[in-house]
Every structure is written in structure tokens, then in C-alpha cells.
Structure 1
Amino acid sequence: MQIQNELSKRILIIDGAMGTMIQRRKLEEADYRGERFKDWHTDVKGNNDLLNITQPQIIIDIHKEYLEAGADIIETNTFSCTSIAMADYDMQSFAYELNVEGARCARIAADEYNAKDPSKPRFVAGAIGPLNKTLSLSPDVNNPGYRAVTFDEVAIAYTEQIRGLADGGVDLFLIETIFDTLNAKAAIYAIKKYFRENPSGKGELPIMISGTITDASGRTLSGQTLEAFYTSIRHARPISVGLNCALGATQMRPHIEELSQIAECYTSAYPNAGLPNAFGEYDEQPHETAHIIEDWAKEGFVNIVGGCCGTTPDHIKHIADQVKNYSPRQLPVLEAVL
């Protein structure tokens, strides 16, 4: 497995925020609609995943900016590309196509850079977001037993997304920003089911899993500690487990240290550019984020690092430059069970 070979040799760099880079382009409603959706019956501005179809060159260019900055892994622009999430725009029927095109955009960029320098392979991670509906929590405070969606519905939606990403040519799957482990388990189930029903000579694609600690308690939104979260998903045998979003690097550090001590697989971390200010914007400068992540590398906590909300190609370049001379975290030697 090529990515496993690379992980054993060096700390890999994952890209930064797609949304931040799209916002910089100050796109308007007409830009999102393009020609194909110019008469769509609902507003679509803010549906960043739709740009895979209507403005693919913008997405390809953003991928290239991150690759130029030093990213080894780029994430497809498919964070919300499920029929469940696309229902907000009445675009459920386009979920499969959005995933195929999102994977294609990333594939074009990665293949271009792989051709330039085959000695430094770049990988496309199919981004699978947490959904806008949760299996563990009720949206109705007066009815805690109510669920807006069922496990089967979530699994079906993820299966369609996974099929689109696979058909579009991703190298691995990234189940990310997990605040509800049951949603993540539905995604894991969908991936395993997809490969059982669609066997290929290549075998299953690797899975990266990245959770989100939402506050100072060190728990996910659905109430799990980090160790409980890892225990809940380790059966999937992910190539890596990690954390992203919600926290800046300073706040994430103790959790990454803990994860590095319990994970049997590689570890990943891509924090936000600090905490948001009063206007919801991120002020942490690239050299500040990179300095903190360099300390993680020095301590041997990580195998994959990058950025989430508020991070840019400048952040990724600084991170890549700071960690390139450090060895990756070594996998633990597991004792044989007699």
C-alpha cells in the first residue's frame, strides 16, 4: 500500500480549509448556479460542494494551491455531498454526481503534481462529513427519544457518496469532523458493505478517521471521551485516527498527546487556525500554527498534520517546512494474544 509506505518514512501533510479558500473568491449566487442551475428554484449560494459541477476550475485551482504549498493528501470538496445534507437545497438527486465530480477535480490536480515529481506521491482523500442530522441526539429538546433520521437512512446516504467517490478515483476515504460516533459507524458500515458488494483486484481502499473534541471537557458532542471514541471505531482498522476542527492547535495538544499513546494505527491532526474571534474569523497566523504543530512532531505525537477551518496554503507551507526534519510517530509494538 503506497500511502502506508510513505507514512512509515515521513510525516505526511494534509491540506487546509476548502471553505476558507472559496470564501476568498467572494462568489455570488450566479457563480454558484452556473449555467446549468441558473433557474433553480431555491437559493444555492453557500453550497460549496455544488461548485464541483458549476465551477470545477475553481476547485481544481484550490487543490493545486495546497499541493504547491506541500500537501501530500488533498481532500475532495465533498464534505456535504450526501442526499441528506443536499436536501437543504432540494438537490438530493445530484449527490452521486457531486461526489464523482469532486473526486475528479482532486484527481486532476493530484495527477498533475504526481507527473511533475513521481518521487513524492500525492493522494486524494474522499471527504465524508458528519451530516447535518445526528443519530445519537434529538433535535427536539422536549422529546429526547426522537431522531430525525435512522441508521439505515444514514448508511444508504453514505453508500451513495462512497460509490461516487470511488467511481471518481479517490485513493482513500476520510470520515472526518466526527461529533457523533454513531454517524461515523454508519459511514464505516457503508464503506465495508460497498467493498463486499463491489470487490476489485485492488481490495478495500484505506480509511482515515478523524473525530472532533467539541469543548474543554475533552468529549465529542455525543458525549464520548477520546479513548471511548477510539475504542468505538478501532474495529474498522483505519490506517489513521485523529482529530480535526472545533479547536486550535493549542487547545488540541493534550488530546493529540493522549491519542498518540492509545492508537494502534497512525495518528492525524489538523486543527483550526486558533479559535474564532467575535466575528467568526480566524486570526492565528501561519507561523504560529506551524510552531505549535512542530512541537507535536518533535514529541513524536503525529504521522499526518495539516489544517482545518481558517487555514490557508500559507499555513500548510509553514507546517510542511517545520515538520519535514522530524521523524514520524512510530506505531506501537503490540503484544501477541496467547
Structure 2
Amino acid sequence: MTREERIEKLKALSKERILVLDGAMGTMIQGYKLTEADYRGELLKDHASDVKGDNELISLAQPDILREIHLKYYRAGADFAETNTFGATSIAQADYHLEHLAYQMNVESARIAREAADIAESETPGRVCFVAGVLGPTNRTASISPKVNDPGFRNVNFDQLVESYKEATKGLIEGGADTILVETIFDTLNAKAALFAIEEVFDELGFELPIMISGTITDMSGRLLSGQTPEAFWNSVRHVKPFSIGLNCALGAKEMRPHVATLSRIADAGVSAHPNAGLPNEMGEYDQDAAQMSALVGEFAKSGLVNIVGGCCGTTPEHIHAIAEAVKGATPRAKPEIEPRLRLSGLEAFTAA
């Protein structure tokens, strides 16, 4: 099946049932207890900086492990594998002095996810599995100063973000991604740079992939770190006509629900939710088990709030299997008809009368 055929199948399936994203990548990689040497592999055996913890390197140094993780999620019932590229931008990889590997990380991560998808499809004839090419938020913010005493200072600008995101997007597409997922968005300006980059790449290549967008409500304030409410955030990004808009990370399903409900009411795109396995405990670990989490996410489906569900930090194939079972047979949310109005966004949304 060609990528074009898979995209058409994705659009058709989204009208028939709730789709399922995979779960946490970092949680799974931690389970392998990899050493510094494991992260380096042969490629970086003489690299001057420590690289343990650079999970995006797994795509290059331990491809068999990455393929196995993706397969575990597909076999658990996930429709999508998210590529192991959360930090695979030249900006984020600068922390390890590995900017030169960012493009290769994206290509290989998407390619390995596609290999796992092909294996999962062969195990269940007639099944179609998708690869979501992930663009993470980077470790810098275009909206907030990292210097308390200098609020006007920025350690990255829009053009730098665009250039880095363009490189990553091209790599994901070359590797075989079916969609581009801009996720864990804490700064809307970073996200707009990513979306600008994606559209420039589409223009250059002469074709488009579905765009998925997922923001992060960072705490109980109900706002992104850069200050926007979910409705203002949607007003800021809706111009790209995404396949889906949603939320992930920072919150558990219980805490995320009211914000998902807001997006469900106002967005004329699919709505996604992939929360953490509850809130972290005092040790930074996640205690919500598969049964507890799937009951909460299953209620999202029964209430007609979502089109796509999955898991973020602390989730495992067991969580995803339970979630997939919980939403099986549920009718996907019907997209509302939104009246054309002038809709603007600062920190708050504004709709002209």
C-alpha cells in the first residue's frame, strides 16, 4: 500500500471508529537499562560528550530495540506509532553536540517505525498501521526569556526554529511518515514555527500529509506555558486545517478532561487526547495502572469528546491495550459545524460579535 493509499484509509477509518495512538517512548527505553556504550554504538564510540539519555540516538545505535518497542504498541492495539524524534531537531541535539545527526535521526526513526508497521500488518491481514512523524517542542522557547532579569532576551528566534523544523520534517517524510504530529506544545510561537516549516516543506515537495497538533496544559491554571487558554491556542493554529487538535503530557486524564471538552466543542477538526498515567508521585513516577487510566479515557469516548486517544508519560503497551479495548465500538466524536466569525487570540480567545 502506498503512502497516499494509507492516508485515504486513515481518513476513512477516522469516520468509522476512534483511533489509537501509542504510549510513552521514554518509559519503554528506560526499561532496557541502556548504558553509555549502548547509546553510543559504533557511530559515536569516540564522541567527546556523554550521550546517555539522548533517546533519539536509539534510532541509530539500537534500531532493533526501537523496532521492538513499536511492535509492542502495534500489537497492543495502537493504530499509530509515534516516531522516536521528540528531540530530533538540530536545536535540541545541540545539547549533545550532535546537530549533524538530526536529519538522519528523523529518517531512521520513521523508517524503523514503518518496518514495525509492515510487520504488524503482515501479522493481521487487512490491518493498516500508521506512522506519525513527531516534531517535539525543542528545549528552547521563542516566547519566554530564560533570564529572569532580562525579559526581552531570547535564546532562539522564529527563523532558527523554522530551519530546524524544516530539516526534521524532510527527514520524517523521507523515512516514510504518514502524518506529521507537532506535539507537547508549551509555546504557541514554537508551534507556529513548526507549522510554517511543515507547510514550506509541503510546498517544496508538491504534496501534503495530514497535520496533527497536540498542546500541553502545563498545570492547573488551564493554560500553555506561554499563557494561552485551549481556545486561544486553537484560534492560533486552526489556519493549517489540521487533521486533529488535542492535548498530551503534563496532566493525567482526570485533570485533562475539561480542556479536551473545550476543544471538542470548538474545533472543526478531530480531537485527540493522550494524557499521562496520572500525575507524577514524589519520585517523579506514574502510578496509574492500565485499568484506572482506561476507565478515564474510555469515558472521554463514551461522552463523545474524542476521535483519537493514546498515552503519554508513564504509559506502556498494557495501558494502550486497555485503552484500545475501552474505546472499541465507541462512536467517534462528530465534528461540530462552526459558524464563520472573526476569531482572534492573545492569551485569551476573542470572537467578534
Matching residue of 2:229: 225
Partner Cα separation in structure 2 for residue 111 and residue 240 of structure 1: 24
Which residues in structure 2 correspond to 1:212-251 (within 5 Å)? Answer: 212-251=216-255
From 4, 13, 19, the counterpart of 1:6: 13
Are the aligned partners of 2:266 and 2:338 in contact in 1 as well (CA < 8 Å)?
no
Matching residue of 2:273: 269
Q: Secondary structure at the match of 2:116?
A: helix
Q: Give deviations 1:168-221, integer Å, cap 9, x for gaps.
A: 01000000000000000000000100111121xxx2000000000011111000
From 241, 255, 258, the counterpart of 2:259: 255
Q: Give deviations 1:55-76, integer Å, cap 9, x for gaps.
A: 0000000000000000001100
Unaligned 5+ segments in structure 1 are: none
Matching residue of 2:170: 163
1:327 paired to 2:331: yes
**Offset of residue 332 of structure 1:** 1.4
Which amino acid is the alignment partner of residue 49 of structure 2? T
Partner Cα separation in structure 1 for residue 44 and residue 219 of structure 2: 39
Q: Secondary structure at the match of 1:243?
A: strand
Aligned Cα root-mean-square deviation (Å)? 1.0
Partner Cα separation in structure 2 for residue 312 and residue 270 of structure 1: 12
From 305, 308, 320, the counterpart of 1:304: 308
From 184, 191, 202, the counterpart of 2:191: 184
Q: TM-score, normalised by structure 1?
A: 0.97
**Offset of residue 156 of structure 1:** 0.1
**Offset of residue 331 of structure 1:** 1.3
Q: TM-score, normalised by structure 2?
A: 0.93
Unaligned 5+ segments in structure 2 are: 1-7, 342-353
Partner Cα separation in structure 1 for residue 255 and residue 339 of structure 2: 33
1:47 paired to 2:51: no
Q: Give deviations 1:103-127, integer Å, cap 9, x for gaps.
A: 0110100111223334331110001
Partner Cα separation in structure 2 for residue 234 and residue 36 of structure 1: 41
From 130, 135, 141, the counterpart of 1:134: 141
Matching residue of 2:288: 284
Q: Give deviations 1:134-166, integer Å, cap 9, x for gaps.
A: 000000011100100110000000000001001
Are the aligned partners of 2:29 and 2:55 in contact in 1 as well (CA < 8 Å)?
yes
Partner Cα separation in structure 2 for residue 270 and residue 31 of structure 1: 29
Partner Cα separation in structure 2 for residue 178 and residue 216 of structure 1: 16
Which amino acid is the alignment partner of residue 112 of structure 2? C
**Offset of residue 335 of structure 1:** 5.0
1:151 paired to 2:158: yes
From 24, 28, 46, the counterpart of 1:21: 28
Are the aligned partners of 2:77 and 2:324 in contact in 1 as well (CA < 8 Å)?
yes
Which amino acid is the alignment partner of residue 281 of structure 2? N
Q: Secondary structure at the match of 1:163?
A: helix
Structure 1 pair 218–189 and aligned structure 2 pair: CA distance change class (3 A):
same
Q: Give deviations 1:64-96, integer Å, cap 9, x for gaps.
A: 000000000110000000000000000001110
Partner Cα separation in structure 2 for residue 119 and residue 93 of structure 1: 39
Partner Cα separation in structure 2 for residue 334 and residue 83 of structure 1: 38
Which residues in structure 2 correspond to 1:118-129 (within 5 Å)? Answer: 118-129=125-136
Partner Cα separation in structure 1 for residue 176 and residue 25 of structure 2: 19
Partner Cα separation in structure 1 for residue 297 and residue 205 of structure 2: 39
From 196, 199, 204, the counterpart of 2:203: 196
Q: Secondary structure at the match of 1:26?
A: coil
**Offset of residue 258 of structure 1:** 1.1
